[in-house]
Amino acid sequence: MDFARAEANRPKVTVTEVGTRDGFQAEPVFIPTAIKAEVIDALIGAGVRHVEATSFVSPRAVPQLADAHEVLALLQRRAEAHVAALVPNARGAERALGAGVEEMVCFVSASETHNGKNLNATIAQSLANVGEVAQVAAGRPVALRGAVACAFGCPFEGDVAVGAVLRIAEAYAALGIDRLTLGDTTGMATPPIVTRVLQALGERLPRMRVALHFHNTRGAGLANVLVGLDLGVREFESSIGGLGGCPFAPGATGNVCTEDLVYLLEESGFDTGVDLDALIRVAQRVEAIVGRALPGQVMKAGPRLRRYDPAAARRATG
């Protein structure tokens, strides 16, 4: 068997890091701007090529991300790295463009109740805001992505109808947005739910490029990733060390952990382009920054073939 050829032919999967946005936003103590930029640069240095770095929401709503423009100004920009930011409205879009992002991410919840809590607006109002963002982006050298929060369940309303997700995806498509992220905001996704949503979306909007954003609130995050892979998804969002949790959704805990995701993908025969050892070092640095143990597993155990000195291991006695 030609192992070099087999390695070169591994299917590629894009890992989009959201920790410095979706993770840091929930941290109660302000993280210095230079440290945020340091983490993003380290992630890119480890081979992560897509980073949702920050958010241009109101500083009053999310004080942790009030320094969005300053963080992006400190980054060591690289041609191969794709830096995105979350934008809630046209004003946020203008600010993001001024900071030089490569992609703007709009977001609307599939749950009317959660959308009101998260965006202080109805779904219809939020979609109108997305239309204004699309107008700002028109003719500019920037990509536009639409995200659907609570795509697999809502902590206020329970199950979310597949049709509610499809209506938002279709509204995005009507605005010319062909990149979609389905967000599992509070970790309510299960393999059967993920299957139903993806199959319905594939039938309705077969040309839409889909990414999956899972939280690991109930421990099913990586199982849902495997379902997505089987159904052809090749982009997943994750958070370094397992940071995260929506501050406007009760019970939300961290995202699927980036180093755990990369480990799973690489061991399953996919090519992420990410250096796992370097990624583990970033996770350990982030753990020191937030000052508490993070839930990532691979950062503790290391890669599968990590070797230990037998002489240093305890020996059973008795």
Q: Closest Cα to residue 185, out of 239, 235, 229?
A: 239
Q: Closest Cα to residue 179, out of 255, 82, 270?
A: 82
Positive/negative CA dihedral, 188, 194, 197, 198: positive
Element at 238 (helix H, strand E):
strand 235-238
Q: Is-contact 158 188, C-beta < 8 A?
A: no
CA dist 269 and 277 (Å) reads: 18
CA dist 187 and 310 (Å) reads: 40
In the set 106, 150, 246, 257, the catalytic residue is 246
The b/e string for 242-274 (b: 16+ C-beta within 10 A; e otherwise) is bbbbbebbeebbbbbbbbbbbbbbbeeebebeb
- Torsion on CA atoms 181, 13, 35, 107, rounded to nearest 10: -10
Say whether 246 is catalytic. Answer: yes
Return the active site residues.
Answer: 246
